[in-house]
Structure 1
Amino acid sequence: MWHEESVNPTKNISGNFTVPWSLFVTSNGDIYIDDGEENRRVQKWIAETNTFVTVMNVNSSCYGLFVDINDTLYCSMPEHHQVMKRSLNDSVMNSNRVAAGTGIPGSALNELGAPVGIFVDVNLDLYVADHYNDRVQLFQPGESNGITVVGSESTITLSHPTVIILDADKYLFIVDRSNSRIVGSGLYGFRCLVGCFGRGPHSNQLNIPYGLSFDHSGNMLVTDQDNSRIQKFKYLKKSCANTSSLFQKIYSSSLTKINQIYYRDCDKRSFYYESTQVEVTESGYYTFRSSGGIDGYGSIYKNKFNPLGPSENLLKTDDDSGSNAQFKLDVHLDVDMIYVLVVTTYESKETGELSISALGKNKVILERLSTPVNIQLNYSSQLNDDNPTYYRDCQVPQCHYETLQIDVNTTGLYVLWSKSNINVYGYIYENDFNPLKPSENLLLSHDGKCNDGQFKLIIDLETNTRYILVVTTHNPKIIGNFSVFISGPNNISLSPFSPKQSSCVIGDQCNFYIKGIGLTLDDILRDELQSNTVLNNQSFSIKLSAGLTIIMFVAGLINSILSFITFQHKDSQQVGCGMYLLTSSITSLSAISMFIIKFWFVVLTHINVSTSLSVIRGGCASIEPILKLFLYLDGWLNACVAVERAVLIFEGAKFDKKKSKSIARRTILILPFCVFGTLIHEFVFRRLFEFETAPDTTDTSKNNEDTIKRYVSCITHYSPSVQDYNIAVLFFHLVGPFIVNLFSALFVIFGGAQQRSIARSNQSFKEHVQKQLSKNKQLIISPIVLLVLSIPRLIISLLPGCAKTSKNLWLYLGAYFISFTPSMLIFFIFVFPSELYMKAFKQSFNRIRRRTPP
Structure 2
Amino acid sequence: MTNVTTIIDNSNHCPHINDIIFNKTIRDMPLAKRIKYYGHLCQRNHHMICFMDEVHLCFCDKYRDPDCLVFQRETLTECKTNYCQNNGQCVQNEFNGIWDFSCVCNECIYGSLCHLTASQYTFSFDMIIGQDILANQLLTSQPLVIQVVLSILILMFIIGILSNGVSLIVFKQKQVQTTGCGVYLFYLPIIGQFGLLFLIGRFSYLLKTQISDVNNRSIARWSCVILEYFINICPMCFNWLITCVAIERCVNVIKGISFSKPKSVWWAKRVVLILTIISLISSSYEPFIRQIIDDPRLTNRHTWCVIAFPSRWIEYYRLTMNLINLIIPGLVNFFVTLFILHRTTKMKQVVAKNQDDKGYWTCLKRQLPLYGSPILLIIFSLMRLIFSLTLVCITHQWQKYVFLIAYLISFCPLIMTFPIFVLPAKIYKAEFKSLMQRMKKLF
* TM-score of the two chains, using structure 1 as the length reference: 0.39
Q: Which residue matches 1:659? A: 263
Moved more, 642-651 or 719-728: 719-728
User: What is the SS of the residue equivalent to 1:530?
Assistant: coil
1:722 and 1:585 mapped to 2: Cα distance? 32
Counting only pairs closer than 5 Å after superposition, residues 8-407 of structure 1 correspond to structure 2 as: 385=52, 388-389=55-56, 401-402=72-73
Q: Quote the Cα distance in structure 2 between the aligned partners of 1:753 and 1:801.
A: 41
Q: Check if 1:436 corresponds to 2:89.
A: yes
1: distance between equivalents of 2:389 and 2:415?
24
Tell me, yes or no, if the aligned pair for 2:236 and 2:279 is still in contact at 8 Å: yes
Matched, 1:716 2:307: yes
How far did 1:573 drift? 1.6
Alpha-carbon offset, residue 472 of structure 1? 7.5
- The answer to whether residue 425 in structure 2 is matched with residue 821 in structure 1 is no
Cα distance in 1, alignment partners of residues 313 and 416 from structure 2: 36
**Residues 1:726 and 1:473: Cα distance change in structure 2 (over 3 Å):** same
Shift of the 757–764 alpha-carbon distance from structure 1 to 2, 3 Å rule, reads farther
**Matches of 1:739 and 1:688 in 2, distance apart?**
36
From the superposition, tell whether residues 580 and 540 of structure 1 become closer, same or farther in structure 2 (CA, over 3 Å): same
Between the two proteins, the alignment pairs up a number of residues equal to 368
**Equivalence map 1:772-811=2 (5 Å):** 773-775=365-367, 777-779=369-371, 781-791=372-382, 793-794=384-385, 797-798=388-389, 803=394, 808-811=399-402
Asked whether the equivalents of residues 345 and 367 of structure 2 are also in contact (C-alpha less than 8 Å), the reply is no
Question: SS in structure 2 opposite 1:692?
Answer: coil
The answer to whether the 8 A contact 1:399-1:476 is kept is no
Secondary structure, counterpart of 2:133 in structure 1: coil
Q: Give the deviation of 1:438 after TM superposition.
A: 4.7
Could you give the per-residue CA deviations for residues 393-448 of structure 1, whole angstroms, max 9, x where no partner exists?
Answer: xxxxx99624xxxxxxxxxxxxxxxxxxxxx75879xxxxx993459xxxxxxxxx
Q: How does 1:702-713 map to 2 (within 5 A)?
A: 708-713=299-304
Question: Aligned partners of 1:539, 1:582: CA distance in 2, in Å?
Answer: 40
- Quick one: which amino acid aligns to residue 745 of structure 1? T
Instruction: Output one character per residue of 1:682-738: Cα deviation in whole Å (capped at 9) or x when no partner.
Output: 232122123320xxxxxxxxxxxxx63434111112355443432332232232222
| Kept after mapping to 2: 8 A contact 1:560/1:589 | yes
Aligned to 1:738: 330
Secondary structure of the structure 2 residue equivalent to 1:713: strand
The equivalent of 1:521 in structure 2 is: 125
* Partner amino acid, structure 1, of 2:438: R
8 Å CA contact 1:387–1:401 kept in 2: the answer is no
1:841 corresponds to: 432
Alignment-derived partner of residue 681 in structure 1: 285
Distance 1:633 1:758 in 2: 38
Task: Give the structure with the higher percent strand.
Answer: 1
Residue of structure 1 equivalent to 2:212: 608
Alpha-carbon distance, 1:845 to partner:
2.6
Residue number in structure 2 paired with 1:475: 97
Question: Retained in 1: the 8 A contact 2:181–2:245?
Answer: yes
Change (3 A) 1:581 1:437: same
> Quick check: 1:637 aligned with 2:244?
no
Is contact 1:399–1:472 with CA below 8 Å preserved after alignment? Answer: no
Task: Give, in whole Å, the separation in 2 of the partners of 1:805 and 1:629.
Answer: 31
The structure-2 alpha-carbon separation of the partners of 1:772 and 1:582, relative to structure 1 and needing over 3 Å to count, comes to farther
Does the C-alpha gap of structure 1 residues 790 and 596 become closer, same or farther in structure 2, counting only changes over 3 Å?
farther
Match of 2:13 in 1: none
Give 2:218's aligned amino acid.
Answer: S
* Aligned twin of 2:20: none
Q: Give how far 1:803 is off.
A: 2.9
- The residue identity in structure 1 corresponding to 2:148 is L
CA distances 1:798-818 after superposition (whole Å, capped 9, x unpaired): 578763586644322222222
How far apart are the structure 1 equivalents of 2:377 and 2:190? 18
Question: Are 2:275 and 1:671 equivalent residues in the alignment?
Answer: yes
Match of 2:193 among 589, 600, 608: 589
Identity %: 25
- CA deviation after TM superposition for structure 1 residue 759, in Å: 6.1
User: Aligned residue for 1:831?
Assistant: 422
1:565, CA displacement in angstroms? Answer: 2.1
Question: Which amino acid in 2 is paired with 1:824?
Answer: I
What amino acid does structure 1 have at the position aligned with 2:97? Answer: N
Shift of 1:755: 4.3
- Structure of higher CA gyration radius: 1
Q: Distance in 1 between matches of 2:386 and 2:346?
A: 38
CA distance in 1, matches of 2:376, 2:314: 31
For the structure 1 residues 514 and 577, does the alpha-carbon distance in structure 2 shift closer, same or farther, using more than 3 Å as the test? closer
Q: Tell me which amino acid in the other structure corresponds to 1:818.
A: I
What amino acid maps onto 2:322 in structure 1?
Answer: L
Separation (CA, whole Å) in 2 of partners of 1:741 and 1:795: 16
Matched to 1:651, the amino acid is: K
Superposed CA offset, 1:539-574 (max 9, x none)? 111112111111110011111012112211222222
Check the 8 A contact 1:738/1:784 in 2, yes or no: no
State the superposition RMSD in angstroms: 3.5
Deviation of 1:760 (Å): 6.4
Alignment of 1:480-495 (within 5 A): none
Shift of residue 790, structure 1, vs aligned partner: 4.2
Q: Label 1:612 to 1:623 Cα distance change in 2 as closer, same or farther (>3 A).
A: same
Which of 569, 573, 596 aligns to 2:177? It is 573
Report how far residue 647 of structure 1 moved: 0.9
Q: Runs of 5+ in structure 1 lacking a partner?
A: 1-383, 391-397, 403-423, 429-433, 440-470, 479-498, 694-706
* SS in structure 1 at match of 2:251: helix
- The 1:765–1:733 alpha-carbon spacing in structure 2 relative to 1, beyond 3 Å, is farther
Change (3 A) 1:792 1:769: closer
Match of 2:252 in 1: 648
Question: Take 2:261 and 2:365, find their aligned partners in 1: how far apart are those partners?
Answer: 25
Instruction: Give the stretch that moved more between structures: 717-726 or 526-535.
Output: 717-726
- Structure having the larger proportion of residues in helix: 2
**Which of 109, 113, 116 in structure 2 is aligned with 1:504?**
109
> Any idea what the Cα deviations from partners look like across 1:197-252, whole Å, max 9, x if unmatched?
xxxxxxxxxxxxxxxxxxxxxxxxxxxxxxxxxxxxxxxxxxxxxxxxxxxxxxxx
- Which residue identity is paired with 1:504? I
Question: Match of 1:690?
Answer: 294
1:126 corresponds to which residue?
none
Q: Partners of 1:536 and 1:589 in 2: how far apart? A: 27
Task: Write the distance in 2 (CA, Å) between the matches of 1:835 and 1:388.
Answer: 67
Change (3 A) 1:643 1:579: same
Please list the CA deviations of residues 251-295 of structure 1 after superposition, one character each: whole Å capped at 9, or x if unmatched: xxxxxxxxxxxxxxxxxxxxxxxxxxxxxxxxxxxxxxxxxxxxx
Q: Which has the higher contact order (CA 8 A, sep 6+)?
A: 2
Structure 2: distance between partners of 1:580 and 1:551:
26
Listed as ranges, the gaps of 5+ residues in structure 2 are 1-50, 58-68, 79-86
